[in-house]
Amino acid sequence: MIHRKLSQESNQELGGQDAYPTKNHQFLVEPISRLGGQDAHLANNYQSLVEPKLKINYRNLPHWELEGSVYFITFNTWEKLELTPAAQQVVFNACNFFDKKRYQVFCLVVMPDHVHMLIQPLPKSEDKFWSLSSIMHSMKSYSSKQIPKVMKHIGTVWQDERHDRIVRDEREFDGFWEYIRQNPVKAGLCLTPEEYPFFCQISEG
């Protein structure tokens, strides 16, 4: 089941063009092959090539980007800022804005003070690949500017750093997926993941 509540508004701030070049890439796991119909075409087009390129960035934490990989990502609000439901909707919309265009969202939950997601950046063109840093920047920058419009908050919204992990195999992929699903349930915000308004997952098959 796909559960989405998306705004129709667009914003140029979500349109950053940062991408890094690549000639070859491969999927460490094959989640896109779970999709049916036209979406499965992504796997056929972009899988089975060799020598993925590794890119490492450092701030306070190291951030590893490996072409074609799936990532488990967590980012937190500044000093545990509690987002209102309206603010959570802003974040949810921002995270889904370029789904299936610049990245594939497999599973996403927006909690009151943090976000978990399982995503896979997609190729921008034959020789360029959307970078994880550009994807995260567009989500956080856009939402941080929109949140003050829907809740009383002035100042920083997000912590500078994010926690990201390259998903190494199918077992990790399934484990992270279930962790994200159960996050609002364990927090006592709903009885089932599907009841939570700021949760979505892609259907299998």
* Alpha carbon separation from 54 to 29, 51, 64, 67, 80 (Å, rounded): 16, 9, 7, 7, 32
Is 138 buried (19+), middle (13-18) or exposed (0-12) by CB count in 10 A?
buried
pTM, two decimals, is 0.75
Cβ(120)–Cβ(194) under 8 Å?
Answer: no
Least-confidence region, from 12-16, 20-24, 142-146: 20-24
Under 8 Å CB-to-CB from 75, ≥6 apart: which residues? 114, 115, 136, 140, 158, 159, 161, 162, 163
Structure tokens at 80: 């545990």
Res 59: pLDDT: 52
Read off the pLDDT of each residue in 19-32 and give the average, rounded to a whole number. 40
Pairwise pLDDT comparison (126 vs 62), residue with the higher score: 126
Query: Three-state SS for 158?
Result: strand
CA distance 26 to 168: 12
Structure tokens at 111: 């909690």
Cβ(177)–Cβ(106) under 8 Å?
Answer: yes
Tokens 């490492």, located at residue:
56
CA distance 94 to 85: 14
Count how many residues are written for the chain.
205
Model confidence at 166: pLDDT above 50: yes
Tokens 């259907």, located at residue:
203
Cβ(91)–Cβ(138) under 8 Å?
Answer: no
Res 109: pLDDT: 98
Query: Three-state SS for 32?
Result: helix
Query: Three-state SS for 66?
Result: strand
Q: How confident is the model at residue 99 (pLDDT cuts 50, 70, 90)?
A: very high
Res 191: pLDDT: 98
Cβ(120)–Cβ(71) under 8 Å?
Answer: yes
